[in-house]
């Protein structure tokens, strides 16, 4: 699948312009990364970057992430990142949020035991939504150890355009990590 030997497999859903995904794939060449982005502009930015600096440990998919999640074998991923997804802020649109029972079931199926699901957002209602949805499933354990944990970026976090915009606009990002039981 990859042009190099990889020891783990990581999925990033909705990579936007690809800044985070490119950073991670560059600093961890031993890990295979799959990035999903259905929007043409994000995919064009990624393909331009990969044209300049090809990465043997990175593959991209330009369609709906649920199709890929349904295709992947069970217990095949070591991690899933969902960073600043569309928050669908209006209550009548919440059913469109990516985090929901069907997609969390997909995550639980494709993540290995001990695999990590990371979620970042600056929208409080979506952060709360995700915490409750993962708690309700029972097979994802939130990894916060103290009150500051969920406002502390992940180790090696390069930041994203969406995070910078949120901070500029006065919103405080949250970084949630769940472990697949």
H-only helix segments in the chain = 19-27, 40-52, 65-71, 101-110, 124-137, 161-168
Q: Which residues make beta-bridge pairs with 31?
A: 8
Contact of 68 with 15, CB cutoff 8 Å? no
Catalytic residue among 81, 86, 124, 139: 86
Cross-sheet strand order for the sheet of 140-142:
58-61, 31-36, 8-13, 77-83, 111-121, 174-180, 140-142
Residue 70 is a catalytic residue: no
Report, as residue numbers or ranges, the catalytic residues: 86
């Amino acid at each position: 699948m990859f042009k190099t030997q990889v020891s783990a497999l990581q999925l990033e859903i909705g990579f936007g312009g690809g800044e985070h995904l490119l950073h991670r794939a560059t600093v961890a060449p031993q890990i295979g990364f799959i990035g999903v982005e259905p929007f043409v502009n994000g995919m064009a930015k990624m393909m331009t970057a990969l044209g300049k600096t090809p990465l043997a440990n990175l593959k991209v998919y330009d369609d709906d992430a649920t199709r890929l999640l349904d295709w992947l074998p069970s217990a095949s991923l070591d991690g899933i990142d969902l960073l600043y997804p569309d928050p669908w802020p209006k209550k009548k649109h919440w059913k469109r949020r990516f985090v929901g029972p069907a997609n969390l079931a997909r995550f639980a199926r494709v993540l290995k035991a001990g695999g990590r699901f990371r979620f970042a957002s600056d929208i409080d209602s979506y952060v709360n939504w995700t915490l409750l949805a993962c708690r309700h499933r029972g097979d994802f354990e939130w990894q916060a150890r103290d009150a500051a944990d969920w406002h502390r970026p992940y180790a090696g976090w390069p930041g994203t355009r969406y995070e910078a915009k949120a901070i500029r606009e006065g919103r405080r990002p949250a970084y949630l990590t769940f472990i697949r039981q």
